[in-house]
Structure 1
Amino acid sequence: MYSKHEDDPNLCTAEKLIRYGIAKQIHRYSEIPDCSIVLNPLANKYLKSSDRIYIEKCGIVAIDVSWKRGLKILRKIRKGNHRILPILIAANNINYGKPFKLSTAEALIAALLTTGFHEEAMKIASLFKWGQQFIELNKNRIERYMLAQSDEELEQIQRELFSISISQNIKIIDLLHKYVVET
């Protein structure tokens, strides 16, 4: 967990995961393992089930920064295999029902489920009142995303799940990047 400690530590899901010993604090970019999966909303590739091999070998890194203030940090990190999550719906108290606005814990739960680490995802979910609801709310989406073998397939699945009928020339990943930068 790379955290800039921008949130109230009592409300921050990343801080809670560190306190419970589920996540290890990373203090410098250089501590990010080269072969790890780095969850980054500015990444150019989606997280897929085939990324499991990287997580088994080197782990998964969540970057806990404010999207508004942390864009420079998200762009600066070079280590690891950067991946973006496909569209999911938040269940946390602050952003309930909103797409894209996942807490750090929700992002980790989704990443772990997508890559087949069900037990680890359930352990994290159990720490939060909304944890199980997040899983239920996104269960069908995550199951569909797990089947995708390519970024193109993930793009198509998202178009179907969310009835997105934008031009085929515009990629959903580009819309996700635009959303991160503008919010």
Structure 2
Amino acid sequence: MKLYIYHFHQDDPKKCTAIKLYKFKLVKLIANLKFIPKLAIVLNPYANKILIPADKGLIEVNGLIAIDCSWNKIHETFKKNFKGINKRLPLLLAANPINYGKLSKLSSAEALAAALYITNYKEEAEKILSLFKWGETFLTLNKNPLKDYSKAKSEEEILRLEKEYFEVPALNNG
């Protein structure tokens, strides 16, 4: 399984979770959009499709990509068309110190770990989170949603679970 990050260099490198994952050789950085594998799953908060456990096979074969950018520039960043199969994560709470407790304002490390956990790569998710002081907190904050999302059979089930766990904002779901 290959983990990638397309890095926009918009954040403080000392606080950037993507850089830390790269330094520990857990991800490959992609420097140019044309190098995004066309069948890889791209984590995109504006995608119409939702990541589900059945996406594990696609991740196994084609990889998983997080787009690392500043939350202050998220709208302009995601106006671009990213190659690959764009999917959003189900709703989760951030544990990183910058966006602690905010709904879906995850760091790149949290996003990759969440995607891996949901697709039942739990050990790999825990390995990523172990690099950060707040990593265990992410799993604790999201324990029940992550467990239930990882058992979901469909996007409809994920949507139901989101409503069950969170006050669901208006989402762009097609």
TM-score, normalised by the number of residues in structure 2: 0.91
- Give the aligned length: 169
Most deviating of 73-82 and 47-56:
73-82
Looking at structure 1, the residues matched to 99 and 76 of structure 2 have their Cα atoms a distance apart, in angstroms, of 23
Counterpart code for 1:103: S
The answer as to 2:161 corresponding to 1:157 is: yes
Larger Rg: 1
Q: Secondary structure of the residue that 2:86 maps to in structure 1?
A: strand
Looking at structure 1, the residues matched to 74 and 33 of structure 2 have their Cα atoms a distance apart, in angstroms, of 14
Q: Percent identity?
A: 48
Gap runs ≥5 in structure 1: 165-171, 179-183
TM-score, normalised by the number of residues in structure 1: 0.86
Provide the aligned C-alpha RMSD in A.
1.7
Looking at structure 2, the residues matched to 71 and 58 of structure 1 have their Cα atoms a distance apart, in angstroms, of 26
- 1:25-84: per-residue Cα shift (whole Å, max 9, x none)? 101111111111100001001110000011100110000112332423323233111110
2:6 is aligned to: 2
Alpha-carbon distance, 1:158 to partner: 1.0
Query: Structure 1 segments of 4 or more deviating over 3 A?
Result: none
2:25 is aligned to: 21
2:56 is aligned to: 52
Looking at structure 1, the residues matched to 62 and 48 of structure 2 have their Cα atoms a distance apart, in angstroms, of 20
Counterpart code for 1:87: L
Bigger fraction of residues in helix: 1
1:92 is aligned to: 96
1:1-150 alignment, distance < 5 Å: 1-150=5-154
Alpha-carbon distance, 1:122 to partner: 1.1
The answer as to 2:170 corresponding to 1:175 is: yes
